[in-house]
Amino acid sequence: MLRLFRTTRMWHPRDLRDRYDVVIVGGGVHGLACAYYLAERGVRDVAVLEKQYLGAGASGRNTAIIRSNYRTPEGVAFYDESVRLYEELSARLGYNVLFSQQGHLTLAHTDSAIMGLRVRAEVNQLCGVRSRLVWPDEIRKLVPALDVSDRPRYPVLAALYHPPGGIVRHDAVVWGYAREADRLGAHLHPHTEVTGIDVAGGQVTGVRTTRGNVRTGVVLNATAGFCSTIAKMVDLRLPITTHPLQAFVTEPLKAFLDKVIVSANLHVYVSQTDRGECVIGSEIDPYLSYSHRSTLPFLEATAHHTLELFPCLKDVRVLRQWAGICDMTPDYSPIMGEVPGLRGFYLDVGWGTYGFKAGPVSGRRMAELIATGQTPDLIKPFSITRFWEDRLIGEKAAAAVSH
């Protein structure tokens, strides 16, 4: 007998109101998490505006790596809170986000790379984050499939081992936050593009969209890839350049890899999902572009470097490849906070290649700022004022791959 199951919607279509207390631009993990944490604080008259479907941008295109083994005390503390939030996220949202803390290894193939990892290990440990240097004998035990011999052109010399790091199911994170934000009263509006932002007397007063105009005193720019375009609507020029970042996935394989492997020297990172597919990515493309096109040179170079690490993958087929776009700041740290001189305009942008792992903490802390008017200590260092106050937070050394 055919049984019909009743499905419930994760979130609901709503009419776009002509006024909200808070408008969040960008329906990815950052915007949705902020809507959720605002609603938790009782700020529920909130609209999330997304020009495509929820999670269509960087939230659905990243390689879902979670870690806090950064280079600066400010970065380590910030991303560590995100790891902790990810640890409790399935229980909090009542939705399994498949967070697998399988451990994360950043490989060094040169003496100078070892020096860089040593500094990160020291900073991590001083900040209470588990990371340590490991050497080829231990690496071999941790990752039996990795070629730790002298065969490769650049043999593996050492690694930064970060046990709390891992991977998550990125769509589930987006859907879980969206469902809970919707349940608590936020309005999620996919297919609603912001075309302008109104300001009067140094105060945000509304947004214009493809579905009508909305009055509001608070706008959060939580976009990735298009943050400069949104900022231009209030005549704000951000110190950001936008680059494509590509990745590909293999056919499913029997489980052989239960660590995230990153090689900055070889410009490649590899993990294996619960479905058995290997998710593989590289550095940002070296040109400015808003293009989502995949390229053959990326696939050839990245496959070549992957085989240096994992020769066992040589006959494996590639299922698909894709690209996202990343907003890069000069110091590889994000820009968060209210813009001085522009009341009601908040930034949660410039995430480069680190955005997805920061979704929970940025959502929580931006919600705290918007709800209370007080900037949380954790995000104070990331204010836009650092660019003219000479307080950069250099996180390039912690990039998964060099750029």
Give the interface with ligand PYC as residue ranges (CB under 6 A).
63, 65, 67, 269, 281, 353-354, 400
Q: What is the CA radius of gyration of the chain?
A: 21
User: Measured from the CB atom, is 51 or 305 closer to ligand PYC?
Assistant: 305
The token pair that represents 25 in the structure block: 């631009």
- Closer residue to ligand PYC, CB minimum distance, 65 or 148: 65
Residue 364 CB neighbours (<10 A):
22
Closest approach of Cβ 73 to ligand PYC, in Å? Answer: 18
Judged by CB, which is closer to ligand PYC: 216, or 353? 353
Kindly state the smallest distance separating residue 190's Cβ from ligand PYC, in Å: 25
**Least separation in angstroms between CB 23 and ligand PYC:** 29
Distances (CA, A) of 364 to 255, 264, 277, 334: 35, 30, 32, 15
Which is closer to ligand PYC, CB of 71 or CB of 364?
71
Let me know: does 122 contact 240? Beta carbons within 8 Å: no
Residue 70 CB, nearest approach to ligand PYC (Å): 9
Q: In angstroms, what is the minimal distance from the CB of 262 to ligand PYC?
A: 7
Pick between residue 63 and residue 221 the one whose CB is nearest to ligand PYC.
63
* Minimum gap (Å) between residue 368 Cβ and ligand PYC: 24
- Cβ closest to ligand PYC, residue 334 vs residue 344: 334
- Confirm if 36 and 54 have CB atoms less than 8 A apart: no
**What are the residue ranges of helices labelled H in 41-110?**
73-87, 89-93
Exposed, middle or buried, 304 (CB in 10 Å: 0-12/13-18/19+)? exposed
Q: Which of residues 179 and 259 has its CB atom nearest to ligand PYC in the complex? A: 259
The single residue listed with the structure tokens 């995000």 is: 379
Q: How far apart are CA 262 and CA 165, in angstroms?
A: 12
Contact 189, 14 (CB under 8 A): yes
- 3-state SS assignment for residue 111: helix
Residue 275 φ/ψ, nearest 5 degrees: -80, -10
In the complex, minimum distance from the CB of residue 357 to ligand PYC, in angstroms, rounded to a whole number: 7
Q: Which is nearer to ligand PYC, 345 or 382 (CB)?
A: 382
Nearest-angstrom CA–CA distance, 116 and 71 = 9
**DSSP characters for 341-392?**
TSBTEEEEE--TT-HHHHHHHHHHHHHHHHHHS---TTTGGG-TTHHHHT--
Q: Give me the least distance between CB of 184 and ligand PYC, in Å please.
A: 30
